Structure 1
Amino acid sequence: MHDDRKLVEARLERVLRERVRPAVHPATTPLSVEIWSTDGEPVPVAEGLVAPTRPIAPGTPWGTPWGTSWFKVTGTVPAEWAGRTVEAVLDLGFTPRTPGFQCEGLVHLPDGTPVKGLHPRNAYVRVGAPVAGGERVHWRIEAASNPDLEADGVPFRPTPMGDRATAGDAPQYVLGEMRLAVFDETVWNLVMDLEVLGELMAELPVDGARRWEILRAVGRALDAIDLQDVNGTARAARGELAGVLATPAAATAHRVSAVGHAHIDSAWLWPLRETVRKVARTASNMTALLDEEPDFVFAMSQAQQYAWLKEHRPEVYARVKKAVADGRFVPAGGMWVESDTNMPGSEAMARQFVHGKRFFLEEFGVESDEAWLPDTFGFAAGLPQIIRAAGSRRLLTQKISWSRTNDFPHHTFSWEGIDGTRVFTHFPPVDSYNCEMTGRQIAHAARNFKEKGVATRSLAPTGYGDGGGGTTREMVAKAARMRDLEGAATVEWETPADFFAKAEAEYPDPPVWVGELYLELHRATLTSQAQTKRGNRRGESLLTEAELWAATAAARTGFRYPYEELDRIWKTVLLHQFHDILPGSSIAWVHREARATYARLAEELEAIITGAQRALAGEGTRELVFNPAPHARGGVPAGGAAPFDGQGDKAVPTPRDGGGYVLDNGMLRIEIDGRGLVVSAYDRIAGREAIAPGQAANLLQLHPDFPNQWDAWDVDAFYRNAGRDLTDVAGLSVAGGAVRVERAFGASRVVQLLSVPISAKRLDIDTEVDWHETEKFLKLAFPLDVKADRYASETQFGHVYRPTHQNTSWEWAKFEACNHRFVHVDEPGWGAAVVNDATYGHDVTRTVRGDGGTTTTVRASLLRAPRYPDPETDQGTHRFRHALVPGATVGDAVREGHRANLPERRVTGGAAEIAPLVTVDNDAVVVSAVKLADDRGGDLVVRVYEAHGGRARATLRADGFDTARAVLTDLLERPDTDAEPPARADGGLVLALRPFQMVTLRLPRV
């Protein structure tokens, strides 16, 4: 034979497209279709099943944006099809686009029993195999006409379709053919044979014998096909391929553990309510496929999504529970949602695992051993300790492969967090969490795998996500052919636990990566949708405060501890930490609802806090201050109230020579010039100026912001090449003990209040921005006279250090990073902190001045104005609170960061003073949670961590609780049998903590 390989490949592609694939369904007959539509919210299934319908023909437009239509589909299997396999092929108007981003449907029997989901690459419903002929077909399809936000093929174009309020009512889809069809399994298998071999052939070396062996076999198979009688000759064509498909893989072949998967964003280009239905469709699909394919295994993460099924589609949930019990539908990850991990605070990140793992344990008796976060935008360095403390020890993600600057050096490794905790980590080298089991993808995984020679296996999450229905029968068929096939990696369906066990066994001493797993992409998610981020921060703070005061009041007054309310609110806040909600990368509808939700939750939490504090204060007329602000010394308080002493006053502004004002409390002197800029922040105690010579702090800077891609997600480094300082002042005055600065720029206005407390070495800056810019980036700059080669930014249960220099591409790539409540810079003997109450994104840079000194500039990121996917992102009024703390140690930064997020509360009552329920005698040990145990047994749960980055010894006391019977627990409040019990002394617990160590204690009532 002398067939040119390119001719054979081209011939294969055309014969498949034009002859073989169409022959899978050699005979068809139309179904009768009727429709009923609602433009409002989805109706209950029972209502949709009986809704009055009208006939609709193929080619008819249907479906307003975000609407729901119920199709009635009926027909009869022709008698002459008896003995054959028959299925329906139902085209709702699908486009060639990826599943999950267009219309979707869920097929029901007339009694409401769900059958399976419909998607563009999974549009069949089996009728019988074989049929008797004459069977009556009757289905009801709940179809969602979700708009394709990229339907014109141009991604990231601003669109009004992201909110029902602006999407209009034009039909989104045109009904396709709805037909019964004979399914020729032999032809379908021929398609699978040819696709697998063709894809494998394309990946093999051009001059390799195996490629030519496959090429010749494919050529013979194509010769065996009668193009006028594909169905009659398919078996003979398959026979020509049997030999090359039976050749076993080499012993050294890479091993791929496939796990069925359907990465479903809990919100993104659709609202939360639509995700409820996406999950039901996908779970219906996957439980059906599990029944058909005995080797197949499917994994689904996000306890919230299971909870939605339980609440909204109990009949689907029952099928899931059975499949879980059979060990084939795997609850993965153990988190409430696949959250962002950069921005959630310490307690919120812990509670993601608490609520996720507890749900899986209570509902299924299953405890996941891995964190499953394939799509999260980078991973904070505090996460390994949290994973371990939750009883897990592994992590899977794929997202770091999206980094644009540096190629991460490992696929399997040990990740070490800030406290020294390590977790076994795997990045699938297939570089996708939606693997389609193509030969190209499997070959890429084998070539790409960086641990060759010391490890042999990787994992491939396989299936269409985002409502795309999960794994398909075609993917399962391809995996079966690659189970043991020469030239390909071997593929086997396995659970995540089985994969990790084998990977750890063969690679017991993997390389170690220390510190955060920074994604060199999507950095703007730390700033986009500022009100969503403020709502999250406020929700976290109010929740921990509500737990503290409710526990204190319950222990001392009999106040009813609001278990149910706190559980529900925590889960709602955790849901909104999903990695496309909190990062600000969802459609307008999602963020509009998030703002309303946060406001409602804040109102509920404020009521809980007020009720508990009033119970503690009792009856009387004395004014008590709860959460009294720590002053120049003292750690982070864990509750308590004292009579108001009037020390909340501010230093009185006085005129400054040359214009402006001075704020001076004897510890700190602030000079504000006529432009409203801080030109001096003099630490009187240290005799040290904080502001770099000739520079000004409280400087707002405006940059153009038009990234190359991913508008809401990305800010590209070139944004720094242009921009302007906002130094024009529209008003400068004194207002209530503060200096009031007004500015106007573009279509926006800013009002700032600058003040210095009487008894704290701190400059408070309250900023209100009425923001109406487009594609701009607003920063707040503090150029500090500090020679800092690195800086600290708070993360979960500690802080992480990052270099201020750009010696390598790794440092350069971190030009925008995350902090929680503070950023701290220092040189030996003196430092400064910038704290905040709602922002996360920031940058820190350094320059050497002409005088030889070094300026380290800290800039907080305030606002952006991207136009996709929400064209009105951040338009409106925003409030921020920052503080500059000259002379600050890390401990001062920790304390002031807490203060900025914990408001003083004044309550009238009769108590002389309310002592804290829990006290710790070392400022380095921070109490992050005080609550009653979730099992409602009345025990007190206290979580503390070492916050300064050194070893700490502290005595913890809890009023009314028995320290002698205290036990260390994991995050789920279960005794930690491996931990050394805490020592007791003087009626307290003596804790010896390593740097950044977090511990949870459970104390019974006395």
Structure 2
Amino acid sequence: MSASVPLASNNISEAIEKLRRLSRWDVQSGWKYCYSDSAVVHTVNICNWPLAELNEKSHIAWPSGKQVLYLGQQFVVPDNLSGYPVTGLRLLLNLTWWAEDAQLFVNGELVGVGDLFDCSVRLLLSPSAIPGDEFLVILRLVSPGHDCGALVRSVCVYEAADSAYFDPGFVADELEILQNSLSGNFQNLNSQYLPTENIVDRTFVVKGERLKSEIELAVGLIDWSVVCDRQKFDRSLSNLRQNLLRCLRDFQDVLTAEGAEGEKEKILLNISKNDDSISNAQCPMPNAQCPEVSNFSDQAYTSIYIGESSENSSIYKGKIYLLGHAHLDLAWLWPVAETWEAAQRTFESALKLQSEFPDLIFCHSTPALYAWIEEHRPDLFAAIKKQVAAGRWEVVGGMWVEPDLNLISAESMVRQVFYGQRYTQEKFGELMRVVWLPDTFGFGWQLPQILRDGGVDYFVTQKLRWNDTTEFPHGVFLWEGLDGTKIFSMMSAAIGENIESVKMANHLFDWQVKTGLQSAFWLPGVGDHGGGPTRDMLEVAKRWEMSPFFPNLQFAKAVDYLSLIESQFFPEISQTESQGDASIRESHPILGQDEVIGNLDEFESANFSEISEFESQGDASTLLPIPIWKDELYLEFHRGCYTTRADQKRNNRRCEELLYQAELLSSLATICAGAVYPKSELEIAWKQVLFNQFHDILPGSAIAKVYIDANLAFAEVDRTCRQILLQSLDAIASQISLPSPPQSDAQPILIFNTLNWSRSEVVALPIPDSNPENWQVYDSSGQRLVTQIQMCDRPKPQFTMLFWTSDIPAIGYRVFWLSHKNPETIESSSPKAPESEKTKLGQVTNHLTPKIALCQETHFDTPRKVLENELIRATIDGETGNLSSIWDKVNNREVLNIAGGNQLQSFQDSGQYWDAWNIDPNYQKHQLPAPILKDISWIAQGEIRHSLRVVQQIGKSEFCQDYIVEIGSPLLKIKTVVDWQEKHILVKAAFGLNVEADFVTCEIPGGAIERTTKPETAAEKAKWEVPILRWVDISNHDFGVSLLNDCKYGCDLQPNQIRLTLLRGSTWPDEQADIGIHEFTYAVYPHSGNWQDAGTVRQGYELNLPLLVQVLPKSEENQHKTLPTVGKLLDLSAENLVLMAFKQSEENPNSWILRCYESEGKEAVLELDSDLGLAISQQVNLLEQPISLPSQSDDGKSFKILSWKIASFAVNSSGLYSIIVSL
């Protein structure tokens, strides 16, 4: 037996359409057009303009390229529409366009403007229509540069001038809402609540059929014969509305009286049992013709049939909570300077509307924006603060800006929260409990932990509604992060919405089905370029508040709504600690058709309670279990943003690294040398970088002017940080007790390691003159080292001396010496290598070239070119320039399969509307010919480094790639310089690998995630391009290969192939987006075992943060110097811990904040080991507030850090290093 009683009667649908024809007139086909931009609007004569044609979508379209189109139409108020008199009704022209600029003229006067985002209007032509009145409407529309323009919709609407009265179109919308509500509830009953015949009560089905019949009968009793008499027809509609209310009330009463309880009690059609709006109704049941109710006064007529604007006026239990909103992109199709203007306009508009509509609550995110307002418009800022204090303005966001969250480091995420929360706490007196990220292009898996540690309780987005493949299955869910931390999360309604009754009601009904919650959330307001709610939106909302057939409306803050719905699942939600080793595999199964919506492999048990601020949402039994999402939140869209505007990715990565180093070294310089800590300079630099991480800047989806400004900011950060680095290294070096120089003219060289583990690698030392053969390097013991001279051509031509540095301590240093060779020591051969180095590169290269010599560029005609050291041997195909072999000497196996490695594969990548954002999903079907090999030449063949240059051409673009192997290194580096000149071309570097695996591990901010190489579900197949951070690894049990990078973020994965996406050629919104010179490096790292065993995390950091080299001034005096020749300043003593930050405390200049994360998915123990006497005093959260220490050992010196945890500590210095000098 089926309980389905779909309410889709032709009678009802026909009545809806007939009612709309009485008050709405589609005028789309009546426009005339002119392309001339010389028209004088107030004198124009449109009589001779041709009639515009409609396309298949009924749009009036015209070409892209910012072309101007004029549309004109003369409107004459008729006596009636389809017989219904319109005299005295308000006349509005509803318009929707797709145009970069829109100007609206009525009778020659400019009455409205708009753009791509403010793209719809209800234009008032007459407050009281008089037949025969004429209105000449001219639209001046400018098409977007990238897309055709269109007039999408134009409808004349006649509606009641007094919002307390209805009109036929209003009643039509009420009928459609009722129809959708009842149809949806019967269907939901059938599919979820009553799955078996044993539960179905025949009474419900019979009464449901009766209700359907009675509603159809009531609609059938509309007296269409009196349409021409507005008063009589309106009374007929009054009878209809009252009869419908009585039908619904009696249906509910019957169910209650006849014992429809248990499972059926869950729905009751969402009709309120205590419906005061119909308690005094006198109209009989609709089993006969209803008499006219002419004796009702207008006041009673309004009260009975539209309902008082009160809590109980609606037949629905559900309520729609409203929050005024204006999404404001800090930069996109406009520069940042224009954003400040849009913000002022938006905020002033919201404040003005709040003075007219006392119920209006408005919200906005982005502390960076408030900070600008505070500085430049203190009057406006003061007004906002007043409304915040009054509870009518909500500051949401949780972060400094709304950033991209795929491409930034975990520490950048921390600072986004830190600076955002710190600002709102200082200026508004409270932390932001809601992170508000409606437009960010995906969310990394460590975000829940970072948010909760930063005082954020709720996560809100709507962006996954943009998915191009699957529908995100949940409206409300717990998002469980990589470490086990959970945050209460909501997929909100779309942003930038209007007050559209049918659309809003449908959203409520869908929300009830999806979540089991009675009330939904709606965000009215023009967005993207600001704007916010309009007066018309608020007036329309006020009108619908009085309809008993529309859910109750109430403005509310986001945090209050989230607290309300959270209380229906939990009395409180707490952070959950993960235990033991954590899995990083995606763990959400795909729903079957017979599964309850929201079902995952586990649910959180639900306890229910009421809160005082809002009404209860109903019985706990009506709610579904809350699902837990244990994965990243991957956006199935905008996959090109991992690659577009490669300069931004490189600049951001470089500045993140520089800020880490500048903070670290300036902190150490303050501790050990009493240097002044540059707190202000570092905060300014951080905020510049955080601003440039905005979700339409860093992803590459803005106009060219935005990137001129962004690159200036990045350059300023670069200069600031490098100056801090130099000053800090000098300060630290001033405290180092130098060893005796090997020669009197020797100059000390400081090699500093900014990572928290010991390192051995090749460094490059600039030579101070043009005679590099006259210089030599010694270690601190006076041992002369093997060196190699090489010409460095970037950023400017200069000789450098390469030498191997061994065992540079964790966050520490060694001192070396640079000196002139004595005449008697200048020889044609190199010095003997130390015994420890004799088994390395020199043993396999002696036959190739003299040991120390300036390597001139030489060309070979041999079919193969070989680079090797003691660990790997790489072979380049002399005909193609591709990598044909990598032999792993340690594991005695070939790394590549027959396909080879580093194949530059190019594809046509066009046809996407969101050009900068999206890669063509079918790009693999359009592969272009292989690159043309232009040249192969040796750059270096010495004791320290082999480097082979391969030059290839793709289209008009040149790829210059240096293959590099170095002494002691297991990496094959590929240093790349590209002169990119292509448009709508995508280039990937493909590596066919001699290892196969079902899963590939990708680094993400603050952790790692496994992604399948054999997708089966639609969601898995949608991940055909995924984001990574510094590395991606494919491994089986005994062998694997990691692909490292210094600024490339997109890749695709197969069981035995990794392809790194290098460049794209988008043309909108920036026609020249990636045209120009690009520099980047990636590297192949073959290894034994899995990525944890191989230390891939460390290799990725080392590629990005090479050892620092600082030439020091000569010093004759070692007295009072307190640091040793070889120093270890900060060691965390655990292989799987990575230092994220070491900085001065914000509140206490004598305390330091150390932050690290567990990087391999297994528990770690932190023990500080430092020559500076540093010791942990207490654990803190990321806001630097003390928290409990459940993981502290008995001796107070070691701390347990669980898998994937980010942990912060306050650190104090002792002994000799206690003098602090601060700003």
TM bracket (short chain): 0.7 to 0.9
Q: In structure 1, give the amino acid aligned to 2:1059.
A: R
Q: In structure 2, give the amino acid aligned to 1:455.
A: L
Which structure 2 residues correspond to residues 468-617 of structure 1 after superposition, within 5 A?
A: 468-483=530-545, 485-508=547-570, 509=604, 510-617=626-733
Which structure 2 residues correspond to residues 789-868 of structure 1 after superposition, within 5 A?
A: 789-846=998-1055, 856-868=1056-1068
Contact 1:836/1:882 (8 A) holds in 2: yes
Q: In structure 2, give the amino acid aligned to 1:872.
A: Q
Aligned to 2:338: 274
Which structure 2 residues correspond to residues 99-138 of structure 1 after superposition, within 5 A?
A: none
Offset from partner CA, 1:223-270 (integer Å, 9 cap, x none): 54899xxxxxxx999986654421856776433221111011111111
Q: Alignment partner for residue 926 of structure 1, among 1127, 1138, 1148?
A: 1138
Aligned to 1:942: 1154
Q: In structure 2, give the amino acid aligned to 1:681.
A: I
Question: How far apart are the structure 1 equivalents of 2:299 and 2:215?
Answer: 18
Offset from partner CA, 1:485-530 (integer Å, 9 cap, x none): 5443433211111111111111234110111011111111111111
Which structure 2 residues correspond to residues 562-961 of structure 1 after superposition, within 5 A?
A: 562-618=678-734, 621-627=747-753, 631=759, 639-644=811-816, 659-674=863-878, 675-692=880-897, 694-724=898-928, 726-736=930-940, 737-846=946-1055, 856-887=1056-1087, 889-891=1090-1092, 892-909=1095-1112, 913=1125, 915-935=1127-1147, 937-958=1149-1170, 960=1172
Q: In structure 2, give the amino acid aligned to 1:642.
A: R
Partner of 2:1000: helix, strand, or coil?
strand
Change (3 A) 1:152 1:829: closer
Q: Alignment partner for residue 205 of structure 1, among 164, 167, 179?
A: 179
Question: How far apart are the structure 1 equivalents of 2:660 and 2:141?
Answer: 38
Change (3 A) 1:816 1:616: same
Change (3 A) 1:616 1:993: same
Change (3 A) 1:758 1:507: same
Which structure 2 residues correspond to residues 325-340 of structure 1 after superposition, within 5 A?
A: 325-340=389-404
Aligned to 2:281: none
Change (3 A) 1:564 1:199: farther
Question: How far apart are the structure 2 equivalents of 1:503 and 1:356?
Answer: 25
Question: How far apart are the structure 2 equivalents of 1:901 and 1:534?
Answer: 11
Partner of 1:596: helix, strand, or coil?
helix
Q: In structure 2, give the amino acid aligned to 1:498.
A: D
Q: In structure 1, give the amino acid aligned to 2:1013.
A: T
Change (3 A) 1:337 1:223: farther
Aligned to 2:73: none
Change (3 A) 1:727 1:189: same
Contact 2:896/2:991 (8 A) holds in 1: yes
Aligned to 2:191: none
Q: In structure 2, give the amino acid aligned to 1:540.
A: E
Q: Alignment partner for residue 307 of structure 2, among 235, 246, 250?
A: 246
Partner of 1:717: helix, strand, or coil?
coil
Change (3 A) 1:209 1:681: farther
Question: How far apart are the structure 1 equivalents of 2:482 and 2:1133?
Answer: 24
Question: How far apart are the structure 1 equivalents of 2:489 and 2:506?
Answer: 20
Contact 2:22/2:168 (8 A) holds in 1: no
Question: How far apart are the structure 1 equivalents of 2:168 and 2:1126?
Answer: 77
Contact 2:1136/2:1160 (8 A) holds in 1: yes
Instruction: Give unmatched runs, 5+ long, in structure 1.
Output: 20-55, 67-90, 105-117, 126-144, 156-183, 228-234, 847-855
Contact 2:512/2:519 (8 A) holds in 1: no
Contact 1:196/1:481 (8 A) holds in 2: no
Partner of 1:756: helix, strand, or coil?
strand
Deviates further, 891-900 or 5-14: 5-14
Change (3 A) 1:214 1:4: closer
- Displacement of 1:398 in angstroms is 0.5
- Displacement of 1:753 in angstroms is 0.6
- Displacement of 1:347 in angstroms is 0.6
Q: Which has the larger radius of gyration?
A: 2
Question: How far apart are the structure 1 equivalents of 2:554 and 2:469?
Answer: 33
Question: How far apart are the structure 2 equivalents of 1:754 and 1:216?
Answer: 84
- State the number of aligned residues: 858
Q: In structure 1, give the amino acid aligned to 2:753.
A: N
Partner of 1:685: helix, strand, or coil?
coil
Aligned to 1:47: none
Change (3 A) 1:222 1:418: farther
State, as a whole percentage, how many aligned pairs show the same letter.
30
Change (3 A) 1:245 1:662: same
Aligned to 1:180: none
Contact 2:316/2:551 (8 A) holds in 1: no
Partner of 1:729: helix, strand, or coil?
strand
Partner of 1:945: helix, strand, or coil?
strand
Q: In structure 2, give the amino acid aligned to 1:282.
A: T
Contact 1:99/1:469 (8 A) holds in 2: no
- Displacement of 1:834 in angstroms is 0.7
1:149 correspondence with 2:144: yes
Change (3 A) 1:833 1:15: same
Partner of 1:601: helix, strand, or coil?
helix
- Displacement of 1:805 in angstroms is 0.8
Change (3 A) 1:743 1:121: closer
- Displacement of 1:441 in angstroms is 2.2
Question: How far apart are the structure 2 equivalents of 1:193 and 1:554?
Answer: 75
Q: Alignment partner for residue 354 of structure 1, among 418, 426, 433?
A: 418
Partner of 1:679: helix, strand, or coil?
strand
- Displacement of 1:451 in angstroms is 5.1
- Displacement of 1:757 in angstroms is 1.7
Question: How far apart are the structure 2 equivalents of 1:650 and 1:593?
Answer: 46
Offset from partner CA, 1:382-421 (integer Å, 9 cap, x none): 1111111111121001111111111111110101111111
Contact 2:810/2:1130 (8 A) holds in 1: yes
Change (3 A) 1:325 1:122: farther
Partner of 1:445: helix, strand, or coil?
helix
Aligned to 1:377: 441
Partner of 1:324: helix, strand, or coil?
helix
Contact 1:832/1:887 (8 A) holds in 2: yes
TM-score, normalised by the number of residues in structure 2: 0.65
Offset from partner CA, 1:622-647 (integer Å, 9 cap, x none): 11112378658999986322234999
Question: How far apart are the structure 1 equivalents of 2:174 and 2:685?
Answer: 51
- Displacement of 1:14 in angstroms is 6.4
Partner of 2:1015: helix, strand, or coil?
coil
Partner of 2:1080: helix, strand, or coil?
strand
1:967 correspondence with 2:1083: no
Offset from partner CA, 1:329-377 (integer Å, 9 cap, x none): 1100221111111111111011111111111111110211121111111
Contact 2:100/2:143 (8 A) holds in 1: no
Offset from partner CA, 1:286-338 (integer Å, 9 cap, x none): 11112222222111011111112112222211211111111111100221111
Q: Which structure carries more relative contact order (alpha carbon 8 Å, separation 6+)? A: 1
TM-score, normalised by the number of residues in structure 1: 0.78
